[in-house]
């Protein structure tokens, strides 16, 4: 069983709803080091919530979007938080002329509690990072990242 499979199994222990533990995603800091696992809890096509585990699989937190917990009602589409292609499309909509976006990676903005996808951007105005978290898209200073 690889690390992602162990993270998924550990996350499944932390809730008792019909939501299914999806494929775990590594959360990385600006230097590229893994700081957590993000395990989506999906109900159909919706992101009902997530479990965040430390790299050693210690439970850090569980968060729910729907009401009641585990329900798809009031939840964002899972792809907004789990699909790098969807993240790339959201980031591309905010690119300035002559900028190019790099590969997105799940990270955080300033504090680990502020999970967001980081998309490194390079262009004539210098490097910057576009953060994408669900519907929200914002720009921040350049940070180093994996790759």
**pLDDT number for residue 128:** 95
Q: Are residues 69 and 100 in the same domain?
A: no
pLDDT score, position 74:
82
pLDDT at 70: 61
Q: Give the C-alpha separation, 57 to 61, whole Å.
A: 11
Query: Do 82 and 47 form a contact (C-beta atoms < 8 A)?
Result: yes
Q: Is residue 9 located within the same domain as residue 74?
A: yes
Q: What's the domain range around 128?
A: 82-141
**CA–CA distance, 73 with 46 (Å, rounded to integer):** 8
**By the 8 A CB rule, do 87 and 79 touch?**
no
DSSP annotation of 13 reads: T
The reported pLDDT for the residue numbered 144 is 60
Phi, psi torsion values for 31, nearest 5 degrees: -85, -5
Task: Point out the residues of the chain with pLDDT beneath 70.
Answer: 14-19, 68-71, 144-147
pTM of structure: 0.87
Look at residue 43 in the predicted model and tell me its pLDDT.
86
> pLDDT value at position 21?
87
pLDDT at residue 56, rounded to an integer: 96
Residues 123, 104 within the same domain: yes
Q: Is residue 49 part of a domain?
A: yes
Residue pair 104/84 in contact (Cβ under 8 Å)? The answer is: yes
Helix (H, G, I), strand (E, B) or coil at 112: coil
* pLDDT on residue 137: 97
On the question of a cis peptide bond just before residue 68, with omega within 30 degrees of 0, the verdict is yes
10 lies in some domain: yes
Clarify whether residues 11 and 52 are in a common domain: yes
Contact 139, 129 (CB under 8 A): yes
Q: Which two tokens stand for residue 12?
A: 């499944």
pLDDT at 7: 83
């Amino acid at each position: 069983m690889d690390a992602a499979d162990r993270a998924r199994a550990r996350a499944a222990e932390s809730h008792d709803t019909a939501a299914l533990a999806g494929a775990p995603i590594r959360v990385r800091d600006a230097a590229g080091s893994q700081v957590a696992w993000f395990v989506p809890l999906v109900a159909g096509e919706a992101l009902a919530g997530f479990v965040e585990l430390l790299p050693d699989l210690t439970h850090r937190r569980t968060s729910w979007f729907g009401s009641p917990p585990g329900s798809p009602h009031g939840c964002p589409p899972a792809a907004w938080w789990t699909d790098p292609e969807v993240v790339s499309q959201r980031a591309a909509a905010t690119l300035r002329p002559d900028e190019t976006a790099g590969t997105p990676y799940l990270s955080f903005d300033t504090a680990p509690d502020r999970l967001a996808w980081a998309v490194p951007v390079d262009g004539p105005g210098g490097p910057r990072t576009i953060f994408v978290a669900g519907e929200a898209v914002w720009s921040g200073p350049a940070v180093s990242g994996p790759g």
